[in-house]
């Protein structure tokens, strides 16, 4: 959206080229031609104003099984990691101040 309210280097370059070309030929400079030139750019923005519900969940039971298995493994790793940290903290020797 920022490009709508500000100019770009490409727009400035295009205006400069258009101005130079009109000066060389001796034609009248038309500032509106710059705006028309902007409509001819190859870049386009597709705006979709309609959203529709595509569905939820998994496509197949195999996908559901894979997702649930991965989630279960992640939970087990998280629990094991927490238990390991707790064990290290419990068995860690604290240095005696001299």
At 25-81, the pLDDT tens digits run: 666 666 665 555 555 556 666 677 777 888 888 899 999 999 999 999 999 999 999
What's the pTM? 0.39
Inter-residue contact 21 to 11 (CB < 8 Å): no
Q: Is a pLDDT exceeding 50 seen at residue 97?
A: yes
Tell me, letter by letter, the H, E, C secondary structure of 35-65: HHHHCCCCCCCCCCCCCCCCCCCCCCHHHHH
Q: Is a pLDDT exceeding 50 seen at residue 1?
A: no
pLDDT value at residue 36: 55
* H/E segment holding residue 32: helix 32-38
């Amino acid at each position: 959206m920022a490009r709508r309210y500000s100019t770009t280097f490409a727009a400035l370059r295009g205006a400069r080229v258009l101005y130079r070309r009109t000066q060389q030929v001796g034609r009248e400079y038309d500032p509106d031609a710059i705006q028309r030139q902007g409509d001819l750019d190859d870049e386009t923005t597709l705006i979709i104003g309609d959203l529709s519900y595509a569905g939820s969940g998994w496509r197949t039971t195999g996908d559901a099984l894979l997702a649930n298995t991965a989630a279960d493994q992640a939970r087990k790793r998280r629990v094991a990691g927490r238990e390991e940290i707790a064990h290290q903290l419990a068995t860690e020797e604290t240095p005696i101040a001299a």
